[in-house]
A = this chain, B = another copy of it.
Amino acid sequence: MAVDAMGGDHAPQETVAGAVAAAREADVRVILVGDQEALERELDRLQLGDLPVSVTPSEGVILETDHPIQGMRDKPRASVIEATKLVQSGQANAMVTMGSTGAAMAAATMSLGLLEGLDRPALGGPILMPLSTTSLIDLGSNVDCRPGQMLGFAAIGVAFARKIQNIQEPRVALLSVGSEEGKGNRQVREAYPIFKDSGLNFVGNVEGLDLFLDKADVVVCDGFVGNVLLKFAEGMGSAIGRWLPGVLKAHLLPSVVGSLEGLLESVIDLTEVGGGPLFGVKGVVVIGHGRARAVGVAGAINMAKRVWEADLVEAMQSELGSLRSPVKE
């Protein structure tokens, strides 16, 4: 596993600690990519023993505030690029980063290429865990999608649900404002018949409420809608966390109000995306949360291991290939 050790809010301390934990507990060989001196300093502080952790040097980091493509041009040896190249060359099975999502997508598209039938990678997954196991895709990289693009997201989501969630016949739905065919905006109305003819297990339209009611396993939406929803969910989780203490105090004994901290944390964490695979590139790339600490980093590395072992990329290509309707119009 190649780990972009310089990406994320708490790099390199927490990325190194998380990678070492994954090497220790999950039997993973880790290549840390980043500033050699800084990484070796971090490693010296941890008791490595004979753990399979090595360092590959890189120069610079593409930040969240950088424009991804411009960042790639300005910092051609940035950690996320070097880490991705290890996957391209076969030295690593997967790449994990907590850094800029845009940079990871750009680097992965450039070095690894896209699966046939897609013109851009996609983000998705069960973002509402533990409230719901339904996957939502796309979450932001694709806006103004053509219906055929959305069908590609569906195929990718189906492969994820089968391989990672062990759902045999994943139910696919379109996110809309009413369940009947013909409800929705032009995009959804155009996508509906294409989904119906696709050979997928298409169950029709679902609404925002249905994401929490197990009505489908894979819900497809335009990346604009998905990204608004993703951030809305995060905002609502935090807002409830801030609002809850006042309400709880009115309902509970004063003696227990002090124990609420952990509860609020869990409400706030509710909507934070852990490590999610980048969908649609020819290689395993997992993007973790920028705020992740060591546990989150180790979790993202474990996710990458699962994705690799499940042959997810091949499964996605095969789902895309077996669609009855054309993905490209």
Contacts and interface: CB of A to CB of B under 8 A. Distances in A.
Given A140-B177, A207-B231, A224-B177, A212 B239 contact: yes
Given A175-B228, A208-B234, A267 B251 contact: no
A233 B128 CA distance: 12
A6 B173 CA distance: 35
A319 interface: no
25 contacts: A128-B236, A140-B177, A144-B185, A144-B186, A177-B224, A177-B227, A185-B224, A188-B224, A207-B231, A208-B227, A208-B228, A208-B230, A208-B232, A208-B234, A209-B231, A209-B232, A212-B235, A212-B236, A213-B235, A232-B233, A236-B236, A240-B267, A244-B267, A251-B262, A253-B256
A238 interface: yes
A131 B229 CA distance: 16
A225 interface: yes
A186 B209 CA distance: 26
Contact of A208 (B128, B231, B256): B231
A229 B208 contact: yes
Contacts of A69: none
A175 B224 CA distance: 10
A251 B185 CA distance: 44
Given A208-B227, A228-B225, A256-B256, A236 B185 contact: no
Interface string A104-134: 0000000000000000000000001011100
A263 interface: yes
Contacts of A177: 140, 143, 223-224, 227-228, 231
A222 interface: yes
A310 interface: no
Interface string A146-179: 0000000000000000000000000000011100
A288 B79 CA distance: 55
A231 B238 CA distance: 18
Contacts of A184: 143, 224
